[in-house]
Structure formats: structure tokens, C-alpha cells
Amino acid sequence: MKTSFSEKKSASAPDESADALPVERAARHVYAKSAALCFNWSETRQGERTITIDVAPALGESGYAWRDKAQFQLTVGELAELTALLLHPGRSLRFVHQSSSLKTLTLTYQAPTCLFSLAIGPRVLRVPVGPIDQFLVRNFLIARLAVTQGLPAALVLRSLDVLASQLPAAPS
């Protein structure tokens, strides 16, 4: 007995109907010579879905010291602001958290690269993020915001455009 093409497709391929949601990706990495970034889906202590950014120093040619990583968890508002600025490059941002130590996450646009810097006390880890990785990180963050807000990605994009227009311009 022969199997029809539609039966073969449904047996071997995931449902691609309009109602099917893409598989959630839990992390997005960016690698540089000096350090690496890992954007992880996480939840705050209050149960809000957000992103935690891990930054690991490079070990030369042998990889990255993920056991010695520094972490910075974004609030939902900071997640939206970071994503809006990545959609409209040219501006900088700075987030400061006080926990067991002072943590500062800075994003500086140096065309065409975005430089992510995480400072914890005197320790500073920097990762330049080029255009291709910016694209992948933006899409990852937009997907997280869509899940967080329970909204379609197109509506989240429109909302991020409005947010970007409301943020202060970069200093001249």
C-alpha cells in the first residue's frame, strides 16, 4: 500500500499551520575574542518572564570560562528598552543594579557594532556584537517579549518602535 504525500508530510514534519507556534529557543550566544555573551530566558523572583545575560571571559584559544561567568538579569522594562535600542541603533544605554555587588550593564553603539559591557565592581567584561549577531539577538529578545506579554510579535514590534521614539536621544 502506498502512502500519500500528505500522509508522509504529516508523519515526518512538524505542523506548519498558521496556529503552530515556533519552538522556543532558551538561549542565544555571541562569541568574541575577549568574552562571550549568553542571553537566557529566565524568570524574576516575582515570576515575570525576562532575560538573564551571562558574560564569560575568554580562555584564549580553549573557550570561555562559563564557571566564572558574570550575570545580569533584566527587568521586563529593561528588556523592552534594550530590544527597542537594538532595533534603532545609535543610542546607548546603562542599567545599574545593586545586589551583593554593584552591577552595571552598558550598551554602546560603535557603528556597525554594539559593545556590551558588564561591570561588577572593578571587573569589566566587554563583548562587541556585530550586525549579524545583533539581528539574531534582536529576534531572540522580540520572541521573549512576545511570550512575556502574550502578544503577537508584530504588535510587540510596533510597541518597541513607539518606545524607541520616546527614549532620550544619544548625546552628541
| Residue 86 domain-assigned (yes or no) | yes
Higher pLDDT, 38 or 121: 38
Distances (CA, A) of 80 to 7, 17, 54, 84, 92: 42, 29, 18, 6, 14
| Residue 11 domain-assigned (yes or no) | no
> Containing domain of residue 135, as a range?
26-166
In this predicted model, what pLDDT tens digit does every residue of 42-89 receive, in sequence order?
999 999 999 999 999 999 888 999 999 999 999 999 999 999 999 998
pLDDT at 114: 96
Gap between the Cα atoms of 138 and 115, Å rounded: 14
Percent of residues, the chain, with pLDDT higher than 90: 73
| Residue 128 domain-assigned (yes or no) | yes
| Residue 6 domain-assigned (yes or no) | no
CATH of the domain at 161: 2.30.31.10
| Residue 158 domain-assigned (yes or no) | yes
Pick the range with the lowest mean pLDDT from 20-34, 89-103, 135-149: 20-34
Gap between the Cα atoms of 116 and 125, Å rounded: 8
Pick the range with the lowest mean pLDDT from 10-19, 95-104, 106-115, 128-137: 10-19
Query: Phi then psi for 74, rounded to 5 degrees?
Result: -80, 145
| Residue 30 domain-assigned (yes or no) | yes
| Residue 69 domain-assigned (yes or no) | yes
pLDDT at 8: 35
Confidence of residue 121 (pLDDT cuts 50, 70, 90): confident
pLDDT at 97: 93
Confidence of residue 165 (pLDDT cuts 50, 70, 90): very high
| Residue 123 domain-assigned (yes or no) | yes
Gap between the Cα atoms of 29 and 13, Å rounded: 27
Confidence of residue 99 (pLDDT cuts 50, 70, 90): confident
Q: Is the pLDDT of residue 110 over 80?
A: yes
The total number of structural domains in the chain stands at 1
